[in-house]
Structure 1
Amino acid sequence: MAVALLPLMDGENLPSNFGRYAEYMGIKSTETLRAQLFGYFYNAGTRLPSAIDYLAEQTRDYWSLTGNEIVFQHTEFRYATMVSSEPTRKKLLERMLGKPLGENGSLRILRFDGERVKNLRYCPECLSEWKARQRPIYWKMDHQLIGAYVCSEHFCVLRSVEFGHVDTHGDVPVMTLVKASDGPIVRDVDSSNKVAIEEVTKRSARQRREGGAYRPVGSYRDLLRDAGFARSASLVRHSEVISAWSDFFGKEYCNLTGMSAARISSWLGRLTGWESYETPHPFMFIAAECFLEHLISSPGSYLPVALLKLQEGVALAEGVKCEGALHRNSDVLNFAGGAKKIWRMEASVHMWHIISNA
C-alpha cells in the first residue's frame, strides 16, 4: 500500500523526511511508519538501510524515485564507499536495494570512532533562508558527515544541538531540537585552519553528492611520496607527517574529529594493509587528500624559490624567500659542514632541505 510521504528535499536523508511526515500527521513515533515503508524494523540511525527497492515501490506515487535514485541522492552510499572497489560498491548496492539478509538490515561500514561532536548539526544561515522563503526545514546529510563542520553552501561554522544524537534522533524535527543557546562547533580557529576545514567539507559533500571513480589506497602512498614524506611505501616519516598534519588542521579540529597523533600514525602504518577492508571509512582519506595536495601544490613548500649563494662557508640569502605552506619564522639555515659545503634549512615541522653550492 502506497504511503503519502512529503517530498524529499535536496540533500535530505530518509529519517529526516519520515520525521517531518510524522510531525505533519501528528504521529508521535516513526517506528510503525518505518516498518511499513521497508518491510522490516528499520532503525532510524541506520545510514545504509536495505530494502530500498521495497521503499521505492511504497512511495512511487509521491516520490517518483527508483531505488537507485534514493540510494544515490538520499543516503551516504557514495560517501561511505569512496575507498571501496567497484566490485565492493556493486555488492553493497545490491544489498541495499534487496531485502535484508537477516533481522537487522543495516550494512556495516568500517566506523570512524573518536569524533567528539556526536549530536546533530545545522547551519543557521540555511534555517534563516528556509524560514524567509517558507520552505521545509530538515536535517542535511552533508552537515552530519565526519569533520564537516562548516556549511558547504554558506561556509559558516555549523552549530550542534544540545540534545539529539546523530545516530538516534535523525527523525526528530529540526526546530524541536534547535535552541538559541546552541553554539558553533569550532570556536578557536585561525583563517588557514578554517580553509582546511572548509576543504574537508567541500570534498566530503561533493563525494556524497557525486561519488567518483575508485581511488586505490596506493594513490595515497604516492601522495605521501610526492609531498616529500616517504622514500618508499615502507619508509614514511611518521613524526614529520603528524606534525605537519596537525599544524595544517589546527589543534581544536584535530581534537574534535579524533585525529590524534596515534590515529594518524595508525592510518599511515596501515596504508599497506587496507585492501583487507572492503569499506574503510573515508574521513582520514579525505583529510589526507586536503593536507597532502595542499602541500604539493603550494610553491616553495620544500625547496627555496631561489638558490642560495654560498661563499666561504657563509650563506648569503639575498633574494631567497620561503613562502611554502610549512614555513614558519623560526625556520633557520645552518651549516652542516663537509667538503661540499652542505647547508640545510631546518623547518619548524622537523623537515629539512639540503642545499649545496656545488
Structure 2
Amino acid sequence: MRGLAFFPPLLPGELLYSALARHGVLNGLTSPKGLMKELYGRANMIATSDLPNNLSTLLGRLPALQNAARDLMEVHTLYGYYTAFQPLEPRKMALEAMLRGEGSVHFLLGASVFRTGRPVCLQFCPDCAIQQEHDHGFRYWRVNHQLPGVLVCDRHDRRLRRSAVKLQARNRHAYIAASRHVCPDDSEPVTERLRGRSRALATELARKCADLTARERPASSFHELRDGYRERLRDLGLVRGRHKVRQRELHLLFVDHFAELLDRMPGTRPVARCETWLNSIVRSAGGAHSPLHHILLEAFLDAMEELPDKRRAARIDAIRSHADEASEPETSGSDMDWHAIDREYSIALRKRAYRMERLSPPVRVTAASLEKQLNGRDWLAKRIEKLPISALAMSEIVESVDEFRARRMRWHIRNCLDRAEDDPWIVMRGAGLPPRYITRVRKEFVVQARPRPRLARAI
C-alpha cells in the first residue's frame, strides 16, 4: 500500500484524531468515507478518539511515523492515561490491540466498565483555542482536554467547554477537525462554576491526570498498588492491626477533603457504609480501577501527608470522633447500618437523577444508569428488601420510554424555536419519535411558541 504524499506534523499534546481530521481538511477530503479510504485503505473504519486501533495500517501509510509508533500512542492518544495504573501484561496487550486492531482496547483495560465514564463530546479550552490560532493559525484537539473527570484546562485553569462534536454513532466514521464552527464561544461548560477550594482541587487533578499522558509510569501489579496505598494509610494512622483499613474514617476524610467536587465527576463520590471503589481499591487486588480513582486517592494522600503532624492528628481525631458518634448499636448481627445506608443512598439517587435530567442533549434516567454511577449495576436490586426508601425513590425517579420521549420532544422543540424553525418533522426525526407522536409534537409547538404572560407591575 502506497504512503501518503503529505501528512501534517503532530503538534505538542495534539490528539491523533485531531491530526487525522486536519489531514482531511488540508487535502479537501470532505467525505468521511473518502478520508477513511485515504488513511486506512478502507471506508468502514471507526474514528475512535481516545484509544484508536488498527494503527499499524495507518503507520504503513505514514513512513515518517513508523519508527515512533509507541511515542505516537503514548503522547497523542489516551493510552498513557488508561494504562498508568495497569500491570505490564495488560499494557502489552493494549499496545498490540491498538496496533493490530484485534479486540476492544477498552475491554482489555477494563475501561468499558469504569463508573467514571468518558466524555460524550470532544472538549476544548477557550484560552487554548485562542493561543492555537495565534501560534499556528488553526485550532486542534488536545489530549488532556479529553481525559475522563478533567473539568478544567491544565494550562489555563479555566473550565473546559463541550464542542458540537458528539462522540456518538452518527459521528463514529468521521474525523471532525476543531474549528470556530464546532467550538463556538458560547459552548456549554462541562461543569457549573467552580469557586475557591473546589477550583484549586480541580486544577490540581487536571494537572495530575495530564502528567499521565506526559510520562510513562512504571508498571505495577494490582497487589503492589493496593499495598502501597495501605502503607501510606498506615503512616497516617488509618490502618489497625496488620492491614485492616479504617474504612469509615477514610471515607469521612476523603469526602471532607474533596467536598462538592465529587458531585461534579460521575462515579467518584463514595456512599457511606456501602461497598464502593474507595473500599475495594485499598482492600482488594482483584482488578483494574479507573485512573481517575487512583488520581483522587493519590491526591488525597498527598494532601494528608503535607499537613503538619499536629494538625493532621487533630483532623483524624475529629473525624474518628464523628465516626464514633454516628455509629449505632448492632441490631441484626451485621456491621452494616442499613437504615442509614438507605437514607443516604436514596438522597444520592435523587441528586444524580436531578443532574441527569439537566443534561443536554437529554439522557434517559434509568435504574441501570443511576446504579452504574453510584455503586454498580444491580447493587440496589440485590439489596432491595433492606433498602425500602431507596427502592421507593428509584421507582419515582426512573423514566418510562414514553416519559423520556416527551422530554426529548420538548427539548428538540425548544431548539427548533430558538433557530426560528417550526417544522414538526424536524423534531420527529431529531427525537427519533414514532409516527403516532406527530399530533403531540404539533400541539407542543403551539404551546411553547405561545408568548408567556407578563406579571403586571405593582403601582
Tell me the TM-score normalized by structure 2.
0.59
2:312 match:
302
C-alpha contact 1:186 1:252 (8 A) present in aligned 2: no
List per-residue Cα deviations over 1:289-329 (Å, max 9, x = no partner): 0012111221134325xxxxxxxxxxxxxxxxxxxxx59xx
Deviation of residue 276 (structure 1)? 3.7
Helix, strand or coil at the partner of 1:160: strand
Q: Give the direction of change, closer, same or farther, for the CA distance of 1:237–1:157 in structure 2 (3 Å limit).
A: same
* Structure number having the greater helix percentage: 2
> Higher relative contact order at CA 8 Å, sep ≥6: structure 1 or structure 2?
1
Aligned with residue 280 of structure 2, among 270, 274, 281:
270
Q: Name the CA distance, whole Å, in 2 between partners of 1:35 and 1:226.
A: 57
- Following superposition, the deviation at residue 46 of structure 1 comes to 5.3
Unaligned runs of 5+ in 1: 305-325, 328-344, 353-358
Instruction: Check if 1:52 corresponds to 2:55.
Output: yes
SS at match of 1:12: coil
- 2:416 aligns with none
1:39, CA displacement in angstroms? 5.8
CA contact (8 A) 2:119 2:146 kept: no
- On the 8 A contact 2:245/2:283 being kept in 1, the answer is no
User: 2:148 and 2:242 mapped to 1: Cα distance?
Assistant: 27
1:5 corresponds to which letter in structure 2? F
Q: Which moved more, 1:258-267 or 1:281-290?
A: 258-267
Check conservation: 1:46, 1:106, Cα contact below 8 A. no
- What is the CA deviation profile of residues 168-198 of structure 1, one whole-angstrom value per residue up to 9, with x for unaligned ones? 6583222232122224334343322222212
Give the match for residue 146 of structure 1: 148
**1:226 to 2:230 alignment:** no
Q: Which moved more, 1:13-22 or 1:188-197?
A: 188-197
Aligned to 2:35: 33
Which moves more between the two structures, 141-150 or 131-140? 131-140
**Given that residues 186 and 253 in structure 1 are in contact (C-alpha distance below 8 angstroms), is that contact kept between their aligned partners in structure 2?**
no
Matched, 1:217 2:225: yes
Structure with bigger strand share is: 1
User: How far apart, CA to CA, are the structure 2 residues paired with 1:233 and 1:144?
Assistant: 40
The 8 Å contact of residues 53 and 98 in structure 2, kept in 1 or not, is answered as: yes
Kept in 2: contact 1:188–1:252 (CA 8 A): no
Instruction: Return 5+ residue gaps in structure 2 as ranges.
Output: 325-459
Contact 1:122 1:139 in 2 (8 A): yes
Q: 2:290 maps to which residue?
A: 281
Question: Residues of 1 paired with 2:118 and 2:53: CA distance?
Answer: 28
Which AA in structure 2 matches 1:217? L
CA contact (8 A) 1:55 1:67 kept: no
Write the deviation string for residues 64-115 of structure 1: whole angstroms up to 9, x where unpaired. Answer: 6532221122111121111111233223323333x2336x677642222345
**Which of residues 123, 126, 130 in structure 1 aligns to 2:125?**
123
Please tell me the residue identity of whatever aligns with 2:249: E
Query: How far does the alpha carbon of each residue in 1:226-269 deviate from its partner, in whole angstroms, 9 at most, with x for none?
Result: 33333257633333333332332232443433312249942133
The CA deviation at 1:128 is 1.2
- Superposition deviation, residue 21 in structure 1: 1.9
Structure 2 distance, partners of 1:280, 1:172, is 31
Tell me the CA shift for residue 44 of structure 1. 1.3
More deviation, 149-158/231-240: 231-240
Query: Are residue 346 (structure 1) and residue 318 (structure 2) matched?
Result: yes
TM-score, normalization by structure 1? 0.74
Aligned residues: 309
8 A Cα contact 2:13 2:143, kept in partner: yes
In 2, distance between residues paired with 1:29 and 1:71?
26
Q: How does 1:45-194 map to 2 (within 5 A)?
A: 45=48, 47-61=50-64, 63=65, 65-97=67-99, 99-101=100-102, 108-111=108-111, 112-115=114-117, 118-161=120-163, 163-166=164-167, 171-175=175-179, 176-194=181-199
Q: In structure 1, give the amino acid aligned to 2:74.
A: F
Match of residue 337 from structure 1: none
**Secondary structure of 2:322's partner?**
coil
Contact 2:21 2:175 in 1 (8 A): yes
Moved more, 145-154 or 84-93: 84-93
Report the residue type matching 2:213 in the other structure.
R
Residue of structure 2 in register with 1:311 after alignment: none
SS in structure 2 at match of 1:164: strand
Q: Which amino acid aligns with 2:301?
A: L
> Helix, strand or coil for the counterpart of 1:34?
helix
Change (3 A) 1:32 1:301: farther
Conserved in 2, the CA contact under 8 Å of 1:233 and 1:272? no
1:128-159 Cα distance to aligned partner (Å, 9 max, x none): 11222343311111011012212112222222
The AA in structure 1 aligned to 2:175 is D
State the one-letter code of the partner of 1:109. L
Query: Is contact 1:76-1:141 (8 Å) kept?
Result: yes
- The residue type equivalent to 2:60 in the other structure is E
Cα gap change, 1:121 to 1:207, in 2 (>3 Å): same
Identity of aligned residues (%): 22
Q: Is the 8 A contact 2:116 2:292 kept in 1?
A: no
Cα distance in 2 between the residues matched to 1:167 and 1:65: 32
Higher alpha-carbon deviation: 113-122 or 85-94: 113-122
